[in-house]
Amino acid sequence: MRITDTADMWWKTAVVYCLDVETFLDWNDDGTGDFAGLAQRVDYLAELGVTCLWLMPFYPTPDRDDGYDITDFYGVDPRLGTHGDLVEAIRTAKDRGMRVIVDLVVNHTSDQHPWFEASRSSRESKYRDWYVWVDEPPAGKQPEPVFPDQEKSVWTLDERTGQYYLHHFYKHQPDLNVTNPQVRDEIARIVGFWLALGVSGFRVDAVPFFIDTIGESPTALPDPHEVVRHLRAFLNRRTGDAILLGEVNVPYDQQLEFFGGDEGDELTLQFDFITMQNMYLALARQDAAPLAKALRERPEIPPECQWGTFVRNHDELTLDKLSDDERQEVFDAFGPQERMQVFGRGLIRRLPPMLDGDADRIRMVYSLLFTLPGTPVLFYGEEIGMGENLELGDRKAVRTPMQWTAEPSAGFSRAAADQLAAPLVSGDFGPQAVNVEAQRSDPESFLNFVRLLIARYRNSPELGWGRFEVLAQPHGAVFAHRLIWEDAVLVAVHNLSPEPVKVPLELGEQVAGNELLDLLDSQNTRVDDEGRTEIELGRYGYRWLRVATKGSRRLR
């Protein structure tokens, strides 16, 4: 389905903010965040400039996998509130100009879900084929479990019925069988239910595993991507501007398939894991080449689709698409201790501690994020420079309570610290040193810097819509690029090293004799009659420069 009205493609210039209700704000003082607390902080998010909230799972759960093991896809975890509380939070967000998307986790269920309990009760159960059962695991090489330190196989024997069931993740998360049309119909009903309650789309968890059809089935799909196409078509029929934001960590050519190829009829957005990983490699080397290469290799995608860019997300910071040697470079630079690493492929750290709290370098990285072509996605706490709690290990290290104040429980709750849903960060990045209250009133704070970046991004459609080009540079540490959209040209330059540099720019005859307006400062620069100029960058310096051509109507 082609979308011709660009106003419906709100995601092209959105600012997405991911949060876990459980760790955002506790309003009833029981130590667990809730929807009532989220509603109280919607104004804060609006002031920040967020245009889309992404809510991590809030469904009923045994909570063995931080809420991703779900027992009711239509429910709300009673610890977090009720359906009414959720709808009130969505309404409040919409009143402030924000949309809300929610996690769609339909690759698997909890083993305590009524569907699976019925499925394993008997081989004759009507829910038997809602999951993937085999007498023996298929011959040949099997896929590695997502969590290889926890599971040795993707198949587990169920003693009661004598068959094996499939689980790409934990054994307590059996995979649903999407080759079963009844399962596909149920997923559509789930999507329709949450759309009716006011959400504007879904972040789809683990999409490649979702459509993986291991095992033989009489209803097997000749094209597994048909599942995603049908889901997108259903979404478009129900509400034309809702989105599917997919977690797809595969090579670029395969990502193009998940967009739907030239048709653009599958996922609306996908996270760009490859650019993210190469950005960290570039930071470790203080050399822009890996980042430039990754962005040059990005495939062209249909105009109805978009890349999601990010510095950090809610999972481990995966480096799986780097070579072993490249990954080790990043480990050595940003996570040298074994406790900082996980699964042999990623880090459990947030950016500020990785960069030893270097304010200039941290600001440069977030400036870079907001100038990358695509839609920026923030993980809660990034806007104030939160750190991690390494004692928690695994992915939980970055899922700590939001730090609102310097109070003992960080203003997250009035419950005692030992009653909180998760332990707080301590030390140099704990709430006494890093919190919203202190930064909100400081015009030079990181929070206000991120607010400025978001404001400039929102006023720069080139970044969401423009044609991207890397600009050649004699300085290996400098990443320079431009985006062109209609009559607007935006040039961004970032110095990945602590050494000041003078950066030559050759912008071409079309902008010769014009001025470059600095969007973050007042250091405007003149382009000579041959389309050349030179700018200075300090240690970890950065500039956003809009070409003020005679016909341009774009301002700062």
* Helix H or strand E encompassing 364: helix 359-371
In a domain, 26, yes or no: yes
CA distance 311 to 398: 13
Which residue in the list 247, 265, 316, 382 is annotated as catalytic?
A: 247
pLDDT of residue 503: 97
Positive or negative torsion for Cα 81, 82, 85, 90 = positive
CA distance 348 to 369: 20
**Nearest residue to 399 (alpha-carbon basis) of 409, 389, 407:** 389
> ∠ CA(349), CA(352), CA(354), 5° rounding?
50
Which residue in the list 205, 272, 382, 388 is annotated as catalytic?
A: 205
**Nearest residue to 22 (alpha-carbon basis) of 72, 49, 61:** 61
Tokens of 234: 């259903």
Query: Residue 352's CB: how many other CB atoms inside 10 A?
Result: 25
CA atoms within 13 A on the CB side of 10: 18
> Which residue, of 457, 484, 514, is where some domain finishes?
457
> Which residue, of 426, 457, 488, is where some domain finishes?
457
pLDDT of residue 509: 87
Whether 205 and 273 map to the same domain: the answer is yes
Residue 165 in contact with residue 209, Cβ under 8 Å? no
Whether 156 and 245 map to the same domain: the answer is no
Looking at residue 129, which CATH number applies to its domain?
A: 3.90.400.10
Positive or negative torsion for Cα 342, 381, 465, 289 = negative
> Which residue, of 457, 483, 510, is where some domain finishes?
457
Paired with 504 in beta bridges are 534
Whether 356 and 313 map to the same domain: the answer is yes
Looking at residue 507, which CATH number applies to its domain?
A: 2.60.40.1180
Paired with 376 in beta bridges are 309
Whether 381 and 519 map to the same domain: the answer is no
CA atoms within 13 A on the CB side of 243: 28
CA atoms within 13 A on the CB side of 11: 28
Looking at residue 447, which CATH number applies to its domain?
A: 3.20.20.80
In a domain, 175, yes or no: no
In a domain, 554, yes or no: no
**Nearest residue to 66 (alpha-carbon basis) of 107, 21, 111, 106:** 21
In a domain, 172, yes or no: no
Residue 83 in contact with residue 197, Cβ under 8 Å? yes
Query: Residue 400's CB: how many other CB atoms inside 10 A?
Result: 29
Number of domains in the chain: 3
The stretches in the chain having pLDDT less than 70 are: 1-7, 213-220, 549-556
CA distance 296 to 304: 20
Whether 485 and 373 map to the same domain: the answer is no
Whether 363 and 444 map to the same domain: the answer is yes
CA distance 66 to 317: 17
In a domain, 556, yes or no: no
- Structural domain of 197: 6-107+181-457
Q: Any idea of the CA torsion for 273, 543, 366, 9, to the nearest 10 degrees? A: -60
Q: How many residues does the chain have?
A: 556
**Nearest residue to 408 (alpha-carbon basis) of 426, 429, 381, 393:** 426
Whether 263 and 368 map to the same domain: the answer is yes
**Torsions phi, psi for 326 (to 5 deg):** -65, -45
CA atoms within 13 A on the CB side of 535: 27
Q: Residue ranges of the alpha helices (H) in 388-542?
A: 436-440, 446-458, 461-465
- Name the residue with tokens 């038997």: 128
Tokens of 449: 């810097």
Whether 147 and 95 map to the same domain: the answer is no
Exposure string of 432-451, with b = 16+ CB inside 10 Å and e = fewer, is bbbbbbbbbeeeebbbbbbb
Whether 499 and 408 map to the same domain: the answer is no
Tokens of 164: 């094996």
CA distance 133 to 174: 10
In a domain, 555, yes or no: no
In a domain, 396, yes or no: yes
Paired with 306 in beta bridges are 269
Whether 138 and 266 map to the same domain: the answer is no
* Helix H or strand E encompassing 83: helix 83-95
Active site residue 144: no
pLDDT of residue 214: 58
Contacts of 37 (CB under 8 A, 6+ apart): 21, 24, 25, 26, 27
CA distance 495 to 476: 9
Contacts of 93 (CB under 8 A, 6+ apart): 42, 45, 53, 99, 100
Whether 240 and 346 map to the same domain: the answer is yes
CA atoms within 13 A on the CB side of 67: 26
Active site residue 247: yes
pLDDT of residue 1: 45
In a domain, 74, yes or no: yes
Whether 118 and 102 map to the same domain: the answer is no
